[in-house]
Each structure stands twice: as C-alpha cells, then as structure tokens.
Amino acid sequence: MGLTFVGGAYNRAQGTREAFDALSDELVREGHPAMISLSGDREPEDQERIWYERMTLTPNGRKVYGYRWWQGKKWYQIHPDTVAPPRTSNHEARRSNDLKWPYNSDTTAARRAKVLARKYDITREGEGFGELWHWTHWGPLGRIDKPAAAGGTTTPEDDMTPEQASKLNAIHDAIFRGGNSMKDNKASISDSLSRIARDSASAADNTKPIIRDSGPVSVRQELANVSTRVAQLQASQSGLEAALTALANAKGLDASAILKAAQQGVENALRNVTFSVDVDG
C-alpha cells in the first residue's frame, strides 16, 4: 500500500517516495495506520508566487502581520497566512511530507515511526521547529519523475494566526530584551531569565511555533536558548568573582563585602521586575 497522497500532494523523487512507502508498509505490518501525505513536493515557481503574493519590500500603509529576511532584505508580510522564503524548504527539495494523524502528533504510532524511520533515512524534522507533521527523507533522491498531467497542488505552511505570532513575539522580546548590557551582571541575567523560563513554560506546549527570521521556532526552543545563556553565564561566575577578589585585594579592600554588596544591588534592581504570559493556545 505504501504512502497515500490526498489533496493533490505528490512526491516526484523516487528515493523519497520509496523510503516513505517502505516505512508506511512496516508500520502497517505492526498494526499501525498507513501514512497519508497532505503536502509533499512544492514546485519552486509555486513557492515564489505565494511569496510575492504575501510578502513585500514596501508595505505602503498596508497592514503588516510580520516580517522575514530573504536575500539580505527585510520583507513585510501583508497577508494573514505566512510562507517560507523560496529555496529554503525541504518540500521544494522533494524530500518532505506533511503527514495526517496519527503522525502529526505525539502518539504511539508516531513514536514508533520515529524509531523505524532511521533505517529509511527519514527523520521527524519538524520536531525541531514545532511542526510534528513534517517528516523528511535524507537519503538519495534517485530519479525525479515528470509531473502528472493534472499536476499537484501547493499547500502553504500556515503555521499560526497573526494574534499568536504577536503574542509569541512579545514573549521572545521579553526574554531577550537587554542585549549585551545585561551580560555585564551575571546574577541579574540569571535570576531574570530563570523567572521568565518558569512563567513561560505553561505556554510552550499549547502554542503554535513562532515564525522568526530564520524560520519557525517553538517556545520550547526559545526557552532552551534561555537555559543555554543562563548556563554560560553561571559557568563564568567563578572567574568574575576571582577578578573582583583580585581587584579588591590590590586596593586593600574587603572582597567579600564587595561581592555581597554587588549581589544585594542586583536583588534590589530585580525586585520590581515582573513578567507574565497570556497566550491563547
């Protein structure tokens, strides 16, 4: 039976088609549902057409729903539905399929598919950017067949509503506001980001991915980035304290008193800082 296509979806690359066919057949033999693709290949001309319909360099007063970078320029989204920049999607590369349930969620069948997929050079690529339905074949493409006479349809990746994008952008800005100046005080950034991570966690699993300049990014990824930054700053704590101690000793000052005063100053500065998350899943 292999992989089934609906809604005009198709795979023209023999290697991609055969890999998904084999994986689907093995899942069926184990008692799981067959895989069904809602969106397979995406032709370059279709991706460009949709891009130019929804994005512009000059909004000229039109409502802007977001922005993305492409070819070194900032493009403004003037359509409520988002679209990936041309030549950046594995759908265009003829490697990916967006699958129907149960392979678009965290299900028993999907977890088993992840294990079996390794032997066919397939991964659930979308896990990295919050699209659990997005699976990709990394092996040889093989022969590229000609399009069917009726052609296929292109399904743009409409990942979230403008309201969700706005709220998730607010979360991102709150997490990363401050730039390099915040790095000057390890305790301040550590305490602030730890609190932000706690307050944001409840939104992570109930929110669709945020579309950043480089592509879709889940809230979980944003929080992981925060954790990495905190760990880096905490790792440098001993070095910072050693430098303060050496400076205090050179000046004949009480190093422990200086460290305590610095920490108290950070706590006072952060006492009235608050952060809240209000996201409709």
What is the arithmetic mean of pLDDT over 192-207?
54
Structure tokens at 233: 């700053």
Rounded CA-CA distance 24/108 in Å is: 14
Residue 161 has pLDDT above 50, yes or no: no
Rounded CA-CA distance 115/127 in Å is: 14
Specify which of 141-155, 173-187, 259-273 reaches the highest per-range mean pLDDT: 141-155
Taking only the tens place, the pLDDT of each residue in 17-61 is 999 999 999 999 999 999 999 999 989 998 898 899 999 999 999
Taking only the tens place, the pLDDT of each residue in 185-195 is 445 555 555 55
pLDDT at 52: 94
**Under a CB-based contact definition with an 8 Å cutoff, are residues 146 and 57 in contact?**
no
pLDDT at 79: 93
pLDDT at 219: 59
DSSP states of 208-255: PPEEETTEEE-HHHHHHHHHHHHHHHHHTHHHHHHHHHHHHHHTT--H
Q: Which of the pair, 83 or 66, is modelled with greater confidence?
A: 66
Query: Mind listing the domains of the chain with CATH numbers?
Result: 1-40+92-143 (3.30.1380.10), 43-88 (no CATH), 162-270 (no CATH)
Residue 158 has pLDDT above 80, yes or no: no
Single-letter residue type at 238: S
Residues 6+ apart with CB under 8 A from 14: 141, 142, 143, 144, 145
pLDDT at 5: 96
pLDDT at 166: 55
